[in-house]
Structure 1
Amino acid sequence: MTRRLRPVELDFVEAADVRLVFAREISAPPERVFRALAEDVPGWTEWFSAVTYARPTREGAGREIRLRGGMRFAETILAAREPEVYAYRVDVTNAPGVHAMAEAWRLTPTGTGTRVQWTVAADGTAPFRSVLGRAGPGLARAFRGAVTALDRRLAAG
């Protein structure tokens, strides 16, 4: 079953009931990381192992994402400010219990590299909030693996 979520804006990323924040420094410069996030949406399947399908929609204003395990998301891009932030909200999903969800990738220069910060923000039923909160360590591992793979991919050209 798919469900339409409450539309939220970028400020939701800082104000949501549940916020999971992960950060890591990589060697690639912010501009290259931004392009991989925002302009090469299909490429997400090459470096984020949980993503099995990714494509831009609505002439780049949205995305369609599928994850291992069968979760699906139709998203709207909230911000694409190179090289600082790439953010999107989930409009439609088959995930149970979620009422609103958004994610933001913030990129900060660090010498010749980038500090990549990923924030997952959500609101939903009490069971959903509990499950998402307990998923933090698994999401942290997925994030570390993803940005490490992205850094390798960008270094390889």
Structure 2
Amino acid sequence: MTALHPCRPVGLDYLESAPAVFTNSVDIALTPEELFDVLARADTWSRWASVITDVEYTSPAPYGVGTTRVVTMRGGIVGDEEFLAWEPGRRLAFRFNASSTSALSAFLEDYRIEPTGSGCRLTWTLAQELSGPSKVLAPLTGPLCNLAFRHFLKNLQRLTAAGVPA
């Protein structure tokens, strides 16, 4: 098992105070409920966020606030997540309680879904605080990370436009 380093247990208000915040939006041709179902599924994340290789819920269904899961990413990075918001068709948010990298002090992702005339709009906000050498490099790496986040949302848009198999 990979050794995990504790992350600061931030709340949803961290979106307002994090040293690095990235927000991107995309229009999706699904209803808000359909998109929420895609985001709630463990098997879809690796299909649109190419950095992710596996997602596994560690809490039993039904899922909601307090649900936990483990996400495995390229480079051997593992995140132990806990959901802070779970509002079907509207919002889900989670933080890292621990990570395999000590470069991450705090981490939170927030997914907000709003209905539109042709489906819905997803706004994804990622808030984080880095430590050590990563913190020094953040002004350089942040814009590159944000480009990757935009690319992931375009992948999600393509995936959902093609229909997400059950």
CA contact (8 A) 2:25 2:153 kept: no
CA contact (8 A) 2:28 2:161 kept: no
Cα distance between partner residues in 2 of 1:86 and 1:120: 12
Q: Structure 2 length normalisation: TM-score?
A: 0.82
Q: Structure 1 length normalisation: TM-score?
A: 0.86
Structure 1, gaps ≥5 residues long: none
Name which of 2, 5, 16 aligns with 2:4: 2
Which residue of structure 2 lines up, in the alignment, with residue 43 of structure 1?
A: 44
Name which of 87, 92, 107 aligns with 2:93: 87
How many residues were matched structurally? Answer: 156
Which residue of structure 1 lines up, in the alignment, with residue 74 of structure 2?
A: 68
Matched AA of 2:29: S
Q: Secondary structure of 2:154's partner?
A: helix
**Residues 4 and 138 (structure 1 numbering): CA distance in 2 closer, same or farther, change over 3 Å?**
same
**Matched-pair identity in %:** 31
Cα distance between partner residues in 1 of 2:32 and 2:22: 22
Cα distance between partner residues in 2 of 1:97 and 1:50: 17
Equivalences for 1:1-157 in 2 at 5 Å? 1-38=3-40, 40-59=41-60, 60=63, 61-125=67-131, 127-157=133-163
Deviation beyond 6 Å, 4+ runs, structure 1: none
Matched AA of 1:43: T
